[in-house]
Chains A and B, each alone.
Chain A
């Protein structure tokens, strides 16, 4: 046979196959950090009734606009509601909105982007629709949709998912257009692979990196956009708390009662950071080329 016995290639310690992805995730420092943050936030949101005995919607007018103290660690708002309690209860809704919007616009955008890139005849139509959607600022589009659907958390989710979909679709399409010209896709075609297989096995997995990073931003935008929508009366309807509407209600008191905006704002920042690190980590671990340092 061939005159060359190939020499062993670079040997580095290879973990047992079964849990390799899991091990890589655990070994990834920023993923671990991001995941911890997200788990803690989620746990806090779930355990809100155990962590505080105050009703998040209960108004105590005599304690209006109290600064942070032992009794009210995050202070109180204009209606005398405990901001700590509201931030805790708001976490559930805000995380849910962020996650659902990210997943929905990710799935929808990936589908539109890949179909556009792979089926060239549909592409002009799909992209014109996306351009039309993108011509409106995302928030304006969400306002329109939100108004049409009526104020409820699920209409916020649908409106925002549609609003952020075009950007995701554009991003996926751009990567897919590059990937479909690569030789491994041609190799698949020579082997008789159909469009579905090419999309599923070759194009989508190789689009994941930029997509995951984009989605971690969408997650953050969605939480913030909920605030803007609440402000306009379309977002999460008060008095139910979400981080967004706490911030927007606090805006009127930004100078004299800074704590109303600060604490939910911090919560949004922390969640965004956690999600970003988590997305980065997932991207790295799913890419076999990147070695993960322990």
Chain B
């Protein structure tokens, strides 16, 4: 298999949290996360709020730095000491699509200037080329070129999200991190934007890291899925496999909790309680406080990621050899 374009190993991010007059406590938002992303692939990063999925995505484009671990983008290490310089070398190949279609466009900038911002920063483009490129990008995302001279407030949420995508495409990137790009949109508009992302991927050979809390949307867009809980990846598999045979009790609970569009069928509140505070995480498996299958080792040891079938890895003692002996 070819070299992955994104290779993340043991990525950890800690934030200092000031607690009154005491010295700051470290909050571990991302905890030893590892994954690979190959060209043309879409990794869906799923989790609830506080799972660390957005922070992971932000580290990948340099919006925040890693505390430890390694992040290699197109072969360049960006998590180390020279990260800031290293990211400049790959900057034009990375982009980000934001969640909030209202907050992600400067209200005082014309659409043309917003879309051309990456071009302007990169420099070296004539006025005519810039205009042509903006028009071309608008058409790529399904908007008439006549919109170029308008301001963001004249557009609906779905149209703004298209503009955000056009801006992300300006420098012809290879890899785009999409942070909840459709969760603020209405159902009928959400489908349009998901399809647009899929079309663009086919035409331009893009790779996505698609961050979302909606498991149904992730199923539609991803080729591979990683499930995060309280800062760590608990399960990772190819899409079909993950939805067909979810292995981790958290993944199972998450899938069971989604309301189906089938009257008479009820979602299950399979995970009791709530996510523990990341300031004082429980010992052992971080999910054991809510897990219906928790047993002795779960309260003591942190389970390691382990392949249960080729390409399907899970961090759970239920699947470890030692556990089966103990039970």
Contacts and interface: CB of A to CB of B under 8 A. Distances in A.
A binds B: yes
Interface string B118-134: 10011000000000000
B220 interface: no
Contacts of A194: 121
A192 B118 contact: yes
Nearest to A209: B108
A206 B96 contact: no
**Secondary structure of the A contact surface, majority rule:** loop
A8 to B, nearest CB: 8
Interface in A1-37: 1-6, 8-10, 17
A10 B147 CA distance: 11
Contacts of B143: 6
B36 interface: no
B117 A6 contact: no
Best-surrounded residue of A186, A189, A191, A197 (most CB of chain B within 10 A):
A191
Contact of A2 (B100, B105, B199): B199
B195 A192 contact: no
Interface residues of B, number: 48
Contact of A183 (B92, B98, B155, B196): B98
**Best-surrounded residue of A10, A187, A188 (most CB of chain B within 10 A):** A187
B98 A187 contact: yes
Nearest to B88: A192
Contact of A1 (B88, B142, B156): B142
A192 B95 CA distance: 10
Contacts of A180: none
A188 B162 contact: no
B164 interface: yes
Contacts of A55: none
A188 B88 CA distance: 14
A287 interface: yes
B196 A2 contact: yes
Interface residues of A, number: 31
B121 A287 contact: no
B153 interface: yes
A288 interface: yes
A2 B199 CA distance: 7
Nearest to A4: B192
B76 to A, nearest CB: 15
A193 B117 CA distance: 8
A146 to B, nearest CB: 38
Contacts of A5: 142
A6 B61 contact: no
A205 interface: yes
A136 interface: no
Contacts of B155: 9
Given A6-B143, A187-B96, A190-B94, A206 B117 contact: no
Interface string B85-124: 0001001101110111001111111000010011001100
A205 B151 CA distance: 14
Contacts of B99: 183
A183 B103 contact: yes
Interface of B: 61-63, 88, 91-92, 94-96, 98-100, 103-109, 114, 117-118, 121-122, 139-144, 147, 149-151, 153-156, 159, 162, 164, 167, 170-171, 192, 195-196, 199
Given A186-B63, A202-B106, A289-B107, 12 more contacts: A2-B196, A9-B147, A9-B150, A183-B103, A187-B98, A187-B164, A188-B121, A191-B121, A192-B122, A205-B106, A286-B108, A289-B151
25 contacts: A1-B139, A2-B141, A2-B142, A17-B149, A183-B98, A183-B99, A183-B103, A184-B104, A187-B96, A189-B63, A190-B61, A190-B63, A190-B95, A191-B117, A191-B121, A193-B121, A194-B121, A202-B109, A205-B109, A206-B107, A286-B108, A287-B108, A288-B151, A289-B151, A289-B153
**What 5 pairs across the A-B complex have the smallest Cβ distances?**
A2-B142, A191-B118, A288-B151, A183-B104, A183-B103
